[in-house]
Chains A and B, each alone.
Chain A
Amino acid sequence: MFGEQEVVKSHKPRAEIISGIVLMSFAIIMARLWYLQIYKGAEFFKYSLENKLRREVVKAPRGLVFSRNNEILVHNSPRFDAIIIPQYLRHKKETVKRLSKIIAVSDNKIHRLLKNAIGYARYQPVVIKKNISMKEVAIIETEGTKLPGVFVRNFISREYKDKEINSHLLGYISEVNKKQLPKVSKKYKLGDFIGHSGIEEKFDKTLRGKDGYQFIEVDARGRVRKTILENNIYKGIKNKKAIPGNNIRLTIDRDLQLEAYKALEGKVGSAVAIDVHSGEVLAMVSRPGYDPTQFSRGLTSEYWSSLVNDENNPLRDRSIQEHYSPGSTFKTITAIAGLEEKIINEKDEVHCPGYFVLGRRRFHCWKKNGHGKVNVVKAIRESCDVFFYKLATKLDIDVLAKYSRALGLGTKSGISLPREITGLIPTKEWKLKTSGEEWQLGETLSCVIGQSFVLTTPLQLALSYMTLANGGILYRPRIIKEIFDNDGNITYSGQNVIIDKHTISSKTMNLIKKGLYQVVNHPKGTAWWYRGRGIKMAGKTGTSQVVRFTSDKIYHKCEELEYKYRHHGLFTAYVPEHNPKLAISIVVEHGCHGSSAAAPVARAIATKYMEKYFPAERKKIIKEERMAEQKRKKLLEQQKAQESNEES
């Protein structure tokens, strides 16, 4: 026994080495713990927080859009979707059946939607029905336990108060999808809203604000445990508040906008009304429109195809994205050019037999039997073509182009809206460049009456009449009055911008204005029957030929033509005549006449405008008009009396 004890003892050095190894091993472990817990402790502590915290994006509320008088045009309202998160879906068949009864979507459709979602992450929600009613929300919420995996998701929907009325002006928003993502700026993430067309597109940056984020505590499966409200959770981990987008106050007057849209009832066309002394756009309407709210909520394919298949193309903003031959409304500009260039004067008279011969070609006047003797005022008033043909023979097309440009035609106006088109004011150089041919005098004849190459947008037409009404100042059209943040601080305030300034001699102005006034207020004027009350409208009718007619068809009644061949009716005006405040341009597609189709729209807008902004002045005008009317009647009676006296 003793011997063996000795043997055991002889292992002592080895036992000591083992003791040493044990101690050393745990010293290493302790050193490692020191490294992790003391040296890197703070870092790992932060990781553990980040681990359990999920950063949820808090969407910044998009800015609102107001009219010039502070009526809300676009606002955000909560909306609810019924969604299914496949991860939590149990008893699929029964649940789907139950849900289908609540939200009135067929079982098959729900199953199909779920099937389509296969392949995506199972925690990603599948939208079953968008925009469910509050009643449906309530039922889903209360039956929650019987609907495992069915949830109500709420988010903010963009609501456009006047629906199609402001559709082109405001545009719409939609979620950035996978296809669009590479095309848009890097600032946009999947699912962000982005503006399309109108104000929503042009001022997207202004309106969208900055998303914030908030930390919520989640477990490893992503289930939310609680929302963390403290703002400074740990070094560098902070909630960030969303900064709401800035709000925009437009120069648009909602009443005028509504009035214009109403006046275009049953018509296809556009109306633009501009403040003569600032270039502020008070009304800008294109009809037909579309409902931007539907776009923002996610279009149904039915609605989309109804828009796309509509021959009248409701998606196009006719006021800036479509150009028309200005027709006779352009004669005013020709007349200005003629007078200013001293090619004609107020006394010059032309005989109009109903046509004008140039070389071997006969140019027709719209009035088959002619206007007889015509001076410049009468030529404008009765829109005599022959007078202007005659003038055209002496007027260089490039000179006409110069005047046109000075009045805002042929270039983009620079309005803060996307995809404005240029229109066209032809010059000799342009013709040579585009067709390689020399300019023909005959073409000048067509151009001076606003046909042929000349193309203008309704906005440009309104601008030209604004400019001539204010004596030659071409303002840039503005639709933004102010931009202000959520606390009401104004970050941008619209200022008048003068693009170009020419002085038209007062002599010319007086003649032109006289002519334009008589168009509406002279019994022989082309728009006499649409003159209205208390607005003192001065304007010019125009028709724009859609197709060229052979001479035998030229005097056919327009209304008897097939719709798509009918002329466009145009009317441009300003009110009131003696002290112009508002310039208006109206285009009614296939309206046949500028007078019957377009002038009433301008009259409606002008009446609303005068009623709203200058009621006293309007009253005065009405009084004057009444007196003038009585005078006229008296005169007529006297004449009759005289005639009968003479007879007797």
Chain B
Amino acid sequence: MFSGNNFIEALKKYDFSFFGLAIIIFIVGVINLYSATHASSFTYMANLYKVQIGWFVVSIAVGFVISFIQPRNLFRYSYTLYIINGILLVLVLMVGDSGMGAQRWLVIGPFRIQPSEIMKVSLVLALGRFYAKNYPEGEMGIKELILPFIVAFIPALLIIVEPDLGTGMILLLIFFVISFYRKLKAKSMVILAIIGLISGIGMYNFGLKDYQRKRILTFLNPDQDARGSGYNAIQSKIAIGSGRFSGKGFQKSSQASLNYLPENHTDFVFAIFNEEHGFVGAFFLIAIYVALLFRFIWLCQSVPRIFESIVVIGMMSIFFWHILINMGMVTGLLPIVGLPLPFMSYGGSSLLTFGICLGLATSISNSRNLF
């Protein structure tokens, strides 16, 4: 792509802000992860933070490589990527590997990939291309929304069936943010909200599995089964609340070290972070997240092409929904859906996805200077 000199030139103009913010969050995250798991009696748990560092390095490397792909190539291959990804999702349902009661994985040789993770990116690219080509100007009504909705709904449905309600919902939410950005009419939004509500109720009654329905009931009243399904929600709140203003201090979390809060290294890291660093710590962490999100929003207005703008806002929405839903569920504002907190939660697939997102945003940012 570049000759040696060009590469150095390019690095000089390279936008490190995305990766930079990610690295800051990751450092906080990995320290927090170490603190939550160091006291575990299982060696693999105690060494989890090392694995996490490994995955992070890989994710940033992948993101870095992706950041050198030209946006026009992204545009060109976006549908192809979307279709391939869709096929993979179907394959998952047919020959996928099950784990933890869900069929989410596809094993190809030594790799285990989770097509639903990548689908978040593929959907953003596909929707970006679709909206860029079809509705260059003016507001959108319901009629114009039908086709892109189908584009978002098909993979969402495939993922929900796995079942992975959280990721499926995220896809629809991303679709909603992008459509909103692409000037969806207020009236259409109301209609959309009504449709969403009706289908939500229908889904609750017919589409959800028992454990999922229980989670929602538990969310509404966690105390009714404090030792059972409400356990995580209550213990999470106890962890957060007990941190009080300034926290119990590094490695002082009793909820994590004594194993009261299960999944404290994945979905509930934010609770442990709050227990140890309190309100003050949470404030700074959220501030960094908000800075990252604003970096996206700011970028989306400074790109030359609508496709790129939509992709950036799409990437922003991926981050936004993960952060918001994770924090919401950990603090007891939302029902428990297993969504990781970007760069804080343990997990290779999610790190990779977020790394790719950052790579794409960086690529778009860098491309501004090439013209």
Contacts and interface: CB of A to CB of B under 8 A. Distances in A.
Interface string B291-318: 0011001001101111001000100100
B304 A22 contact: no
B343 to A, nearest CB: 16
Interface stretch (A150-158, A213-221, A244-252, A314-322): A213-221
Contacts of B137: 7, 10
B279 interface: yes
B331 A33 contact: yes
Contacts of A11: 181-183, 300-301, 306, 309
Contacts of B278: 37
Contacts of A45: 241-242, 244
A220 B257 CA distance: 10
A7 B294 CA distance: 20
A28 B333 contact: yes
A92 interface: no
A26 B290 contact: yes
Given A29-B286, A38-B279, A4 B304 contact: yes
B327 interface: yes
B313 to A, nearest CB: 7
A240 interface: no
Contacts of A36: 237, 240-241, 331-332
A575 B87 CA distance: 111
Contacts of B303: 8
Contacts of A47: 238, 241-242
Q: Which DSSP category, helix, strand, loop or mixed, fits chain B's interface?
A: helix
Given A10-B137, A18-B180, A22-B293, A37 B260 contact: no
Contacts of B313: 15, 18
Given A18-B181, A29-B324, A7 B240 contact: no
Contacts of A42: 244
A18 B301 contact: no
Contact of B331 (A5, A29, A49): A29
Contact of A8 (B282, B309, B332, B371): B309
Contacts of B306: 4, 7-8, 11
Interface in B33-52: none
A25 B303 CA distance: 26
Nearest to A14: B181
Given A8-B306, A29-B328, A47-B242, A14 B259 contact: no
Contacts of B286: 26, 29-30
B291 to A, nearest CB: 11
Contacts of B151: none
Contacts of B260: 51-52, 219-220
Contacts of B259: 219-221
Contact of A15 (B181, B258, B283, B331): B181
B290 A22 contact: yes
A34 B278 CA distance: 10
B177 interface: yes
A419 interface: no
A179 interface: no
B122 interface: no
B242 A48 contact: yes
B110 interface: no
Interface string B263-305: 0000000000011001100110010011001100100110111
Contacts of B71: none
A48 B254 CA distance: 7
A40 B238 CA distance: 10
Nearest to B331: A32
Contacts, number: 143
B300 A15 contact: yes
Nearest to B308: A8
A37 B243 contact: yes
A25 B289 CA distance: 12
A32 B331 CA distance: 7
A3 to B, nearest CB: 9
A225 interface: yes
A104 interface: no
B218 interface: no
A12 interface: yes
Contacts of A4: 304-306
A4 B241 CA distance: 49
Interface residues on A, range: 35 or more
A19 B297 contact: yes
Interface string B101-138: 00000000000000000000000000000000000110
Interface in A22-64: 22-23, 25-26, 28-30, 32-34, 36-38, 40-45, 47-49, 51-52
Contacts of A218: 258
Contacts of B182: 11, 14
B333 A37 contact: no
Nearest to A28: B333
A1 B183 contact: no
A41 B245 contact: yes
Interface string B225-266: 000000000010111111111000000001100111010000
A90 interface: no
A560 B230 CA distance: 81
A28 to B, nearest CB: 7
Contacts of B244: 37-38, 41-42, 44-45
A9 interface: yes
B320 interface: yes
Contact of A44 (B242, B258, B333): B242
Contacts of B242: 41, 44-45, 47-49
Contact of A37 (B240, B305, B309): B240
Interface string A119-162: 00000000000000000000000000000000000000000000
A567 B26 CA distance: 98
A45 B238 CA distance: 7
A215 to B, nearest CB: 13
B241 A51 contact: no
Contacts of A30: 282-283, 286
A37 B181 contact: no
Nearest to A51: B260
Nearest to B260: A220
Contacts of A15: 181, 297, 300-301, 313
A19 B255 CA distance: 35
Contacts of A217: 258
A10 B300 CA distance: 12
Contacts of B331: 29, 32-33, 36
Contact of B301 (A1, A12, A17): A12
B320 A52 contact: no
A51 B241 CA distance: 13
Given A41-B245, A48-B239, 7 more contacts: A4-B306, A7-B136, A7-B137, A18-B297, A28-B333, A44-B244, A48-B242
14 contacts: A4-B304, A8-B304, A10-B183, A11-B182, A11-B183, A15-B313, A19-B294, A22-B297, A38-B245, A38-B279, A47-B241, A52-B258, A52-B260, A220-B258
Interface of A: 1, 4-5, 7-12, 14-15, 17-19, 22-23, 25-26, 28-30, 32-34, 36-38, 40-45, 47-49, 51-52, 217-221, 225
- Nearest first, the 6 closest Cβ-Cβ pairs linking A and B are A44-B241, A48-B242, A41-B244, A219-B258, A220-B259, A36-B241
